[in-house]
Every structure is written in structure tokens, then in C-alpha cells.
Amino acid sequence: MKDRSIRSRIAPTPSGFLHLGNVFSFVLTWLIVRKNEGYLLLRIDDLDSQRRRVEYLDDIFSTLEWLGLEYDEGASDTEDFLKNFSQELHLQEYEKLINDLLEVQPSLVFACHCSRSDVQRNSINGLYTGTCRNNKIRKADPSTWEKEVAWRVEVPSSPIVFQDELKGEINVYLRETMGDFVIRRKDRIPAYQIASLANDIKHRINYIVRGEDLIDSTAAQLFLAQVLPKNSFVEAKFLHHPLLYENQFQKMSKSYHSLSIKKIRERISTPKPIFRWIAQQFDMNTKVVSLQELLEELDLAKIPPALYHPDFLLRY
Ligand SMILES: [Zn+2]
């Protein structure tokens, strides 16, 4: 049965060259949306000005084009992105979300003066221990608004519970996995969790496909969404797919890690072997060599519990 109301997004970050794990995520998202004749947005999370580079943006567009992954909305190339879509152009929308949060539950947000080394020194597991929790944000008190102060939210001690399309019920104890997280950075720029959530709400995204490494982020965003005035995010579906491993026993070693899609694109002229590899992960006919064939034959019930890097790509 098709669900034409599905709205999803591909949301890469231009902080490095894409690798095969990203491609799996993009193709899976595309397949789920197109199979349902839903809506697909390309969003690029570029608020991390320290790590973003134009060549990484170019890599995102070149990779999507090489794979033939079209989308319904989003920038067409790097120039279009920088001119019309960069998250820096939408800071007011993210700030509004923070203000909404302060409006509905001011006791949740506090100003934190701690440096990175302060946090490390006070913590046994690297997580923020809540040192500044009593320092609530007050409009009349400039010390809570001034520069060099980050804004954090106090996370609950009870778990955030949600359903995952693959794994069933997931419980995340944010106090143990993430701690009180930053929503406004010291440079006053809204943090990733805020920008991502604001964007998903704006575009009424209701089906989010992302890697297992983002389960804690999903919980953090759901926590904020549940506090905020009524919004679509609280009803979104989530699918956290497996990450790419070198083999059963280890995560990716350096030789695999350095194998960017950019290098693969330079070595093989067509993405056919990649589509064939994806088909194999789904227990599908290994003669599959195109996106269209994947779309026709894909059985979404067969999303693999684990993903292993194909050796053949190292031989090119
Ligand atoms: Zn602090």
C-alpha cells in the first residue's frame, strides 16, 4: 500500500567527503519515498562553519547526480545552495524555536559558562554534569545573554520513548547518553539539534531515515518537540538504519574509511556496482544494476540488520 503523505529528507552535512554509508542512507530514503510516491527534500546542514567546505558541498551535489537521486525541493548546486538555502540565511527561524522554548518552559533553559575543559574536569564520562543548571535564562539579566555563554536544556531523568520502524520501541535516557545539551552555542548560533528540528517542522517532515548513530539526536529532538507548542515532529516516524561496518568484528579501518564516494566516482564510471551491493543487502536479485530496478524489486521488510563494506570497491 502506498502512503503518498510521506514527507522525508536527505540531510547531509558538508564536513567531509561522503562515504558508502551516506550513500546507503540516501538511497534507502529515496526508495522509501519514491515507492510511496511521497515528497523528498534535500537539506544540507551547514551551520558548523569550522568544518564546512565548498568542496564538500560540491561532493554532495556530484554524488546525488551520479547516483541519479532526484528530489522534489532543495538547492540544485553549490552556488544555488549558498545563495538561497544555506542555514545561515535561516537563523531567525531557529532563534524563533529557541524563543518558543523559553516562552513555554523557561525553567528548562540555562546559561552555561563552562569551557570544554571545565566539562571534562567535572565529568567521569565526558558528559556535562549540570554545573550551571540554576543559572536560568533571564531577559533582564545580561549575564545570561552575553557572549561566551552557551545555552543548554536540562534533560529529564525519565527516558524518551519512541517507536522505530525497524527496531520497535526505543528508550533513551538522555541524562546518560547526551546530558544537558547545547541549543545555542557560545557564538550565539543555534545548535544542530535546533536547526534540524526547526527545519523538519517547517517542511512537515513525517518520516525520518537516519543512521543508528543519530538515535540520541532523535531522542533530544523529540524531547524538545514534546515541550514546544503543537508541531508535526512529535508524530513523525523514524527509521534508524544500521551503520556500515568493515566486517562482523570491527568498525571501519583506515583503508575503508579513506574510500570516499568521490574516489569511487573517479575510479568507476557508473554506480551500477553500488546498486548491486545494495540489492545484495536486501537479499535481492544480484542482477539489479539500476535505481529503477531497486525501486521495483525492493522489499522494505528486508532492511538488513547489519551492513558490511563490500571488498570489491577496494580493488578499483
Ligand atoms: Zn556550565
Mean pLDDT to the nearest integer, 199-224: 97
* Cell of residue 190, nine digits: 543555534
With b meaning 16 or more CB within 10 Å and e meaning fewer, what string describes 265-283?
Answer: beeeeebeebbbbbbebbe
Single pTM value for the model: 0.94
14 alpha carbon – ligand 1 mean position (Å): 29
CA of 120 to the centre of ligand 1 (A): 11
Tens of pLDDT, residues 246-301? 777 666 666 666 688 998 898 888 999 999 999 999 988 778 889 999 999 888 88
Task: Please tell me the predicted confidence (pLDDT) of residue 283.
Answer: 87
pLDDT at 59 over 70: yes
> In the prediction, which pLDDT does 252 show?
65
Distance 130 CA to ligand 1 centre (A): 6
Q: Does domain 89-199 have CATH number 2.60.40.3470?
A: no
Report the CATH fold assignment for 7-85+243-315. Answer: Rossmann fold (3.40.50)
- What pLDDT band is residue 137 in, cutting at 50, 70 and 90? confident
Expressed in angstroms and rounded, the spacing between residue 118 Cα and the centre of ligand 1 is 8
The torsion angles phi and psi of 216, rounded to 5 degrees, stand at -65, -35
pLDDT at 87 over 70: yes
| pLDDT at residue 139 is higher than 90 | no
Residues 137, 295: Cα–Cα separation, whole Å: 50
Could you give the residue range(s) of every CATH 3.40.50.620 domain in the chain? Answer: 7-85+243-315, 89-199
